[in-house]
Amino acid sequence: MGSFFKFKIKMKLKSLYVIIFLITCLLLSTYLISFETQSKPINPDLSPDYIQMTKILHRFNPGVDYTSLHSLYRIQYPPQKLSHNLQYSIELRFKDNLMKTTSISGLISHVLILVEEALYSKTQAKQKIDRYAQDIANSYQCKVTLETIKGGTPEEIRALLQGYYYQSGLSCAVFIGHISEAWYEVPNDHYWWEGGYGYANWICDLFYMDLDGEWIDSDGNGIYDIHTNGNGDIYPEIFIGHIDPSTMSNYGNKEMLLNKFLDKDHNYWQGNIRLMNYGLIYIDHDWKDYSTYYFRHLYGEKNYDNLKWTEGSNNLVEKFDYLRKRLPNIAYGFTQIWVHSTWESHSFHTGGICYEYEIHESLPRALGYNIDGCHACDWASGVGQYFIGGGYIYNSSPTSLVVIGTTKVGGMLAFEPFYISLGKNNPIGRAFFDWMTDRLKSDEERDFIIGWHYGMTIIGDPLICFLKIPGKSNILFEVHPPVDFHGEKVENRSLLMKETIHTFSWKPNSDNNPDKIYLYRLYEVKLNSLDLIAEIPPSKTTYFRRGVEDREYLYALCSVDTNNKESNFSFTIIK
């Protein structure tokens, strides 16, 4: 009998062990699945979940009455009879085959510059606008036409663009000063989540980009509400950009602001601004789980800081870090920021609200910015005084020249085509064109595309490129940066001492002519300066630095030719 009970107890224990084992396996598999889900970033480029993204937008409600602000802005610009005058056309051709412009010079064949008549009547503004036209013609070796314009309806201005496009070809248009905007409206924006935002209207640049589609104002209120193929399609034929400092009147009159902007823009086209082939991704709390792998198409796999909000003391993504360490940092050539915004502020999860004047005063140093924040480029809401997108470029920074963002709720999603295009050294306007075409051709619901993307716009010079300045390369010889640049922190020990040193190694770029390389220059990249560390003979591909501190360092290495011309940089970080 005792043996029987022992047998039953053993069987029960075995059953218990089996149950415990199964429960453990179940819990472990659940943990692993959860861990894999948490550690693998969501890639919005594969197929953006517009409903989930709208859900995220609804977490932030600034309580701004945009419709009223837009009405105030529209009152400032009552309808006027159209008057436009052709000033001149510049038409250049290659004199020989020695000058290499860009890989996409053929895509920029004809640029139309439309200038507000009153602004062009100012002597100094006229001189600088004419200089800009010449810069573009020289850089792209393309035709540039300049017209002055006063008044006009969006239909009349679009007809002017259509005339140039169909008669002589047109790649893009640059609007300088105030040019009548086209507006779009929906009865209930983002209606697919929690009842939507209600009625919304906004400035819609796609109206001037799509020249063969049909735009309808069904209720005759001067705001379009239907966009169809018509006799063509809904895709863009050209891209446009706005250089209109009258939207930033808090900082001075529009002529003065325009002159300052065109001066630094001229420095770019003359090759006097160093292009920093290093970028910044700055992602706030609500998008921390989304992949930023798309950014690799611009500067490569390693040449960017990928900063995402994290829990705890190690978090870097917050208001004061952005203002003090990122915006004024000379290392960045292009910045992608994803943060809840209004027309006048960013709202960081950590650190709070960052206002336009704080952006303006920080003197942003990146050449360009992609602001993924609602209404960040909604200059109408600023009613001519200021807006946060304008704060990035209409300032005393010597380098900030262009911003892409939105005039409404929404922003850019599915970034891949945009950064692929930028990575081909296409101008930012063409990258916008390529991305918008991709979104319009996608299988997404039309209302998703309208709600998220129909407010996208470019503030600043839309012809800026980020890898090479068009027209500034010589086909006979161009200096290329070293490759496989690597840095490492090493502890150097001896019997009597111990020190930390930084060691570096790299390989010569096979595209360089070895006889033309004079030396390598190694710099430490600080917030506001490039500090020369060493000049290294071309026969050497290693170096070490003593006397370093226990902190993070960013280093830049370039090739230097016999004419003392530096290549772009290769970068490495040592922590």
Task: Give 480-506 pLDDT, tens digit per residue.
Answer: 999 999 999 998 877 677 889 999 999
- 511 against 14, higher pLDDT: 511
Model pLDDT for residues 294-349, shown as the tens digit of each residue: 999 999 998 999 999 999 999 999 999 999 999 999 999 999 999 999 999 999 99
Q: Does pTM top 0.85 for this prediction?
A: yes
**pLDDT for residue 40 is more than 80:** no
Mean local confidence (pLDDT), 252-266: 97
CB within 8 A of 3, min separation 6: which ones? none
- Look at 401 and 43; give whichever has higher pLDDT: 401
Q: What are phi and psi of 170, to 5 degrees?
A: -150, 130
Supply the pLDDT for residue 16. 53
Query: What is the pLDDT, as a whole number, of residue 97?
Result: 43
Read off the pLDDT band of 107 (50, 70, 90): confident
CB contact at 8 A, 229 and 216: no
Q: How far apart are CA 176 and CA 129, in angstroms?
A: 9
pLDDT > 90? residue 232: yes
pLDDT band at residue 32 using 50, 70 and 90 as cut-offs: very low
Asked if pLDDT for residue 87 goes beyond 50, the answer is yes
pLDDT band at 12; cut points 50, 70, 90 = low
> Using one digit for the tens of pLDDT, what is the confidence trace for 151-183?
999 999 999 999 999 998 999 999 999 999 999
Type and span of the H or E element at 506: strand 498-507
Select from 544, 570, 537 the least CA-distant residue to 555: 570
Task: Tell me whether strands 473-474 and 530-536 are parallel, antiparallel or unpaired.
Answer: unpaired
pLDDT of residue 7: 44
Please state, as a whole number, how many other Cβ atoms lie within 10 Å of the Cβ of residue 398: 15
For 139, residues 6+ apart whose C-beta sits below 8 A from its C-beta are 101, 269, 463, 469, 470, 471, 472
For 275, which DSSP code? -
Confidence of residue 14 (pLDDT cuts 50, 70, 90): low
Q: What does the pLDDT read at residue 20? A: 55
Q: What confidence tens digit (pLDDT) does each residue in 177-213 have?
A: 999 999 999 999 999 998 999 999 999 999 999 999 9
Query: Bridge partners of 347?
Result: 340, 353
Q: In the chain, how many H helices and how many E strands? A: 15, 27
User: Looking at domain 478-574, which of 3.40.50.2000, 2.60.40.10, 3.90.1150.10, 2.60.120.10 is its CATH number?
Assistant: 2.60.40.10
Contact status, residue 306 vs residue 292, Cβ threshold 8 Å: yes
Which pLDDT value is given to residue 37? 39
492 or 549: whose pLDDT is higher? 549
Residue of 399, 380, 507 whose CA lies nearest to 70: 380
Rounded to an integer, the average pLDDT of 26-55 is 60
What integer pLDDT is reported at residue 492 of this predicted model?
A: 82
Residue bearing the bigger pLDDT, 472 or 569 = 569
Say if CB 555 and CB 487 are below 8 A apart: yes
Question: Residue 473: what pLDDT?
Answer: 64
What percent of the chain shows pLDDT beyond 70?
89
Percent of the chain with pLDDT over 90: 82
Domain extent listing, the chain = 478-574
Q: What is the mean pLDDT of the chain?
A: 90
Contacts of 33 (CB under 8 A, 6+ apart): none
CA distance 257 to 122: 13
Question: Residue 281 to residues 278, 294, 305, 326, 371: CA-CA distances in angstroms?
Answer: 10, 10, 6, 10, 11
Q: Which of 410, 482, 419, 480 is nearest to 449 (CA)?
A: 410
d(CA 462, CA 456): 13
Which is more confident, 520 or 24? 520
- Could you tell me if 90 and 409 are in contact, meaning their C-beta atoms sit under 8 angstroms apart? no
Which of the pair, 23 or 459, is modelled with greater confidence? 459
Alpha helices in 50-197 (DSSP H): 50-57, 66-76, 117-120, 123-140, 154-168
